[in-house]
């Protein structure tokens, strides 16, 4: 199956088979895909929480508008942002880059200074907004990988972040939840499975100049 066929295969799963679980290998693939997602300047101001404990998923259910996928998925992925992105974040990145790439401060010093200046001029709201945008890049990347790996999923904005943050103790971890992605195996009787996609003709959505 090529990439377009895989994208045709995927859909927003409305009903998972709770008896079928993803393998550790499949979950590891998603973890690595998340880690390999491109982020602004490579700072990775995002985190992914992988939840497989049923009791925890059940707690999320009333705070996600009673969407069944939250309870019946194999694993629930919660995409979060770091609430603190500052000079220390930038220093940690460049120090790690020097270690990984074997570069020196002569190579990265100017860029380090530029980033500190740029982020220093941004408001806290601007920084948070930028981080939130990057969770959507990660979400798209994860969904594409899911399509290729034949992992069903359903992206969700429909939940109460403050409640999810409270359950997971995210404030103490300097994190905020932004998106959720239940993943698993579709139920055979999911009425949405196999339905034709409704998409505009390419000429109505792609502009070529």
Say yes or no to pLDDT of 187 above 90: yes
Per-residue pLDDT at 6:
97
Q: How far is CA 180 from the centre of its chain?
A: 7
Please tell me the least confidently modeled range out of 93-97, 152-156, 194-198.
194-198
Burial classification of residue 137, based on how many CB atoms lie within 10 Å of its CB (0-12 exposed, 13-18 middle, 19 or more buried): middle
Q: Is residue 17 part of a domain?
A: yes
Say yes or no to pLDDT of 93 above 90: yes
Which sign, positive or negative, has the C-alpha torsion 13, 15, 20, 24?
Answer: positive
Q: Quote the percentage of the chain above a pLDDT of 90.
A: 99
Say yes or no to pLDDT of 193 above 80: yes
Q: What φ, ψ does residue 82 adopt, rounded to 5°?
A: -75, 135
Per-residue pLDDT at 153:
99
130 HSE (CA, 13 A, CB side) = 17
Q: Is residue 80 part of a domain?
A: yes
pTM equals 0.96
Q: Is residue 140 part of a domain?
A: yes
For 12-42, the pLDDT digits (tens) are 999 999 999 999 999 999 999 999 999 999 9
Domain count, the chain: 1
- Average pLDDT of the chain? 97
Q: What φ, ψ does residue 46 adopt, rounded to 5°?
A: -135, 155
Nearest to 181 by CA among 48, 83, 84, 66: 48
Say yes or no to pLDDT of 1 above 80: no
For 115-131, the pLDDT digits (tens) are 999 999 999 999 999 99
Q: Is residue 209 part of a domain?
A: no
CATH number at residue 196: 3.40.109.10
Q: Is residue 182 part of a domain?
A: yes
For 71-92, the pLDDT digits (tens) are 999 999 999 999 999 999 999 9
Say yes or no to pLDDT of 194 above 90: no
Q: Is residue 196 part of a domain?
A: yes
Q: Is residue 113 part of a domain?
A: no
Give one DSSP letter per residue of 74-99, joined into a string.
SEEEEEEEES--SHHHHHHHHHHHHH
Domain that includes residue 30, residue range:
3-84+123-204
Q: Is residue 158 part of a domain?
A: yes
């Amino acid at each position: 199956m090529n990439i377009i066929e895989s994208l045709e295969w995927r859909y927003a799963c409305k009903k998972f088979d709770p008896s079928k679980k993803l393998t550790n290998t499949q979950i590891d693939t998603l973890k690595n895909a998340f880690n390999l997602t491109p982020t602004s300047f490579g700072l990775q101001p995002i985190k992914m929480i992988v939840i497989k404990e049923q009791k925890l998923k059940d707690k999320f259910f009333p705070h996600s508008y009673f969407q069944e996928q939250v309870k019946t998925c194999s694993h629930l992925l919660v995409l979060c942002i770091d609430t603190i992105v500052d000079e220390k974040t930038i220093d940690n990145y460049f120090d790690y880059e020097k270690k990984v790439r074997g570069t020196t401060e002569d190579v990265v010093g100017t860029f380090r200074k530029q980033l500190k200046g740029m982020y220093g001029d941004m408001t806290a709201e601007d920084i948070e907004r930028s981080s939130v945008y990057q969770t959507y890049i990660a979400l798209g990347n994860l969904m594409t990988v899911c399509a290729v790996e034949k992992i069903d999923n359903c992206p969700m904005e429909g939940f109460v972040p403050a409640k999810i943050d409270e359950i997971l103790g995210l404030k103490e971890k300097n994190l905020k939840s932004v998106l959720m992605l239940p993943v698993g195996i579709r139920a055979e009787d999911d009425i949405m499975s196999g339905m034709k996609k409704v998409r505009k003709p390419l000429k109505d959505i792609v502009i070529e100049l």
